Structure 1
């Protein structure tokens, strides 16, 4: 059944481009549907979820991977980066489902179709605003009605997303939906996802609005968040070309052995015999040992002497982990340490590490011994660093999320500055905005960064 759903979704991706009604086309193909259903629009949007994670740039931001070929791409050049694809594809399709007057109750309760679309829409917007800062939001997704949307402040976007997620979860009724390639139509898991995203968003406010963060964190926790790895938001690829892992296409299809594990990552994992390391990377072919490459190294590089990206990570059907139970437990450990919630930070931390090992290795057999290792065993006097560093290890290959947590907490505290260039604080806006939406672009840049669209500016919560 899941394979059929995936194939259906892939076929949808070939015929959808952000619109739901193709009946006006002068080139009508009678073998394809003229109108996409609500669940097809949602499935099409879900196909873009792995793109939130699968990106060399994201891995460079978190310093998980080091370039072995074109090192300059990893040295944080000041360059334009586009957010257009997120608006034009997944967000537009989700908005079309939300606005549709023709949703088919035969595909599941209409309220649930809209709820899922709203949860996914909020999740995509959260990722976009955390990368760029202020972005078009309230006036976005209006098609030809508005080509020059204003940029909403990140603070206002966060406030809106909190309410959007609460409302979406509250509207869920009994009954599954069709074509759900993520949770198989299980609405209880979608509700947990909505609450879990709220929980993680609330923690982002720890340095800029801690009182609001604490309130939202507890509300989300009380409403019900992930309780095991079974709840994880995971995109599961297939062992076929139509829906394969991004890294498989790069490394196997195009023979690009361009990425080694960083020295920072290997030095964190190898001394403690971390059971996740054999999944994260392969031993160096020259020595059969795990050897990290210094991030940004431009001279002593190669593919034989360093540990390249792990075979399990770039398998054709390798999954992409986006929101996970381990993240919830790391968040609770930090919240307990901050006094936001009751409970023992050490217990939550141990549960987080255990969930992470289980997620990545499929086993918890080695966890008990692993948690006693010096450097892994929880140290109350060093709590924030341990939680932040182990969360970074866990978030491997979702570099953008790890980068966001690094910006917020400063952990791990040993990321390098290649050629003296610090890790950026944001992505710069698309070049086209200067021409296509000049007034709103310039106002947003002035408001946030004093007029300079610089990658070393800071987003609202990173103050």
Structure 2
């Protein structure tokens, strides 16, 4: 398995073994690559869903020490084409192919994994930009100008897609699985956990639909331990190294970013055992964060930079985790979506924190003392804020997900507006769409944002 993984990664940098990701590929005909290879190749793009400086700025996890302008939320388009022409095209090929090789595992399971990954990618895409091409997308040269589907319809279709994946999984593992090693039970749990989290995401715009989907996902079976976490494990090889290793170690940029002041102060106030993992101490052997967007940046010696284990070459990326599922259950209990009220909410909240500490530190030794802190201990009067704040801490360095939860809940409520610029509420579409898909692009803008493509229009579920 490891040898195959390394080979697939090497193919990305060698012209002699290129995998065709041309936009003109017809997804209704299998490519030269096998289903297993296409699945593995699509998984290689997963870290990009969280690993970028922009993602961390949106959540205000990191502050710029040197080039402050990049963190001041400048207006600018962002491109989603790479997700379509890369992983999504590969996944669509697997889903539609009638010629998959059963030697790579049950065909039903290959297609189920493709559906789960397709849903996960599209969930991330629509939550960043809003309405995007979906039902008419991935058709190759049959349609170069796909219409934009509403985010509501995309969510409804992804709920269906995840349920289909859950129901079609059969006995038998798949090969070339660089995430779960072919373990289909963990793919099943992931599918239902994504569905659970998506259901909670629509809590403010359609709570009845959210409650329905949440309970269906819960009944189908979600993650039950940290062993089920959806984690991308990098290798100690240049062809698949951690993004932050390439940014910090190879480019000598450790002094470019510190943790934000608000985050460090929150962690210090409660003696959070995750702080020594998240951050290094400064030159005075203290933890100190820089106020996000400080106009003159800061002296790297005075502030806490990113914890060393997080930027190692083979450091993993946590994408969907057991602790997230527990925080979701805690919130659902408090909202009355599931039975148990505050007692069940508190139990899930406490366990979520315990499992988060275990994920980040490798131990639960300090969990009891941390939970006993007056600011951390569950309080029925402020429970939703506590759950959201602890979720935010847990999601450290998964900036886009934390940003989405901040947009939904408003917590933590101490994010700042650098130079008077509020935290954006969406990403702007790529400018290429205005030229190449003009009618559909304009229709989507008019439908959602009154015709303006800016950073401050609100996506469908952001109420």
For Structure 1 versus Structure 2, the TM-score category normalised by the shorter chain is over 0.9
Q: Would you identify which runs of 4 or more consecutive aligned residues in structure 1 move more than 4 Å?
A: 19-22
Q: Provide the C-alpha distance between the structure 2 equivalents of 1:8 and 1:218, rounded to a whole number of angstroms.
A: 41
Q: Provide the C-alpha distance between the structure 2 equivalents of 1:21 and 1:239, rounded to a whole number of angstroms.
A: 34
Aligned partners of 1:17 and 1:88 also within 8 Å: no
Aligned partners of 2:24 and 2:140 also within 8 Å: no
Aligned partners of 1:5 and 1:180 also within 8 Å: no
Taking structure 1 as reference, are residues 188 and 21 closer, same or farther at Cα in structure 2, changes over 3 Å only?
A: farther
SS across alignment from 2:319: strand
TM-aligned CA deviation for residue 259 of structure 1: 1.1
Structure 1 unmatched ranges of 5 or more:
23-33
Q: Considering only aligned residues, what root-mean-square deviation do their CA atoms show, in Å?
A: 1.3
TM-aligned CA deviation for residue 242 of structure 1: 1.4
Map 1:52-63 to 2 at 5 A. Answer: 52-63=49-60
Aligned to 1:193: 190
* 1:336-391 Cα deviation digits (max 9, x unpaired): 00000013111110000001000001100111111001211111111011000000
Aligned to 1:4: 3
TM-aligned CA deviation for residue 19 of structure 1: 5.7
Map 1:139-150 to 2 at 5 A. Answer: 139-150=136-147
Aligned partners of 1:133 and 1:459 also within 8 Å: yes
Q: Provide the C-alpha distance between the structure 1 equivalents of 2:133 and 2:57, rounded to a whole number of angstroms.
A: 26
TM-score (norm 2): 0.95
Which of the numbers 85, 97, 102 marks the counterpart of 2:99? 102
TM-aligned CA deviation for residue 20 of structure 1: 11
Aligned to 1:387: 387
TM-score (norm 1): 0.95
* 1:292-314 Cα deviation digits (max 9, x unpaired): 00000022512110000110110
Taking structure 1 as reference, are residues 440 and 58 closer, same or farther at Cα in structure 2, changes over 3 Å only?
A: same
Q: Are 1:328 and 2:331 an aligned pair?
A: no
Q: Provide the C-alpha distance between the structure 2 equivalents of 1:394 and 1:160, rounded to a whole number of angstroms.
A: 29
Structure 2 unmatched ranges of 5 or more:
26-30
Aligned to 2:273: 275
SS across alignment from 1:260: strand
Aligned to 1:28: none
SS across alignment from 1:193: helix
Q: Are 1:229 and 2:226 an aligned pair?
A: yes
Map 1:37-186 to 2 at 5 A. Answer: 37-186=34-183
Q: Provide the C-alpha distance between the structure 2 equivalents of 1:65 and 1:353, rounded to a whole number of angstroms.
A: 22
TM-aligned CA deviation for residue 16 of structure 1: 1.3
TM-aligned CA deviation for residue 326 of structure 1: 0.3
SS across alignment from 1:447: helix
* 1:53-93 Cα deviation digits (max 9, x unpaired): 10100000000000111111111111100101100100011
SS across alignment from 2:231: strand
Which of the numbers 251, 257, 260 marks the counterpart of 1:259? 257
Name which of structure 1's ranges 120-129 and 99-108 shifts more when overlaid on structure 2.
Answer: 99-108
SS across alignment from 2:357: helix
Aligned to 2:20: 17
Aligned partners of 2:100 and 2:107 also within 8 Å: yes
Q: Provide the C-alpha distance between the structure 1 equivalents of 2:435 and 2:194, rounded to a whole number of angstroms.
A: 34
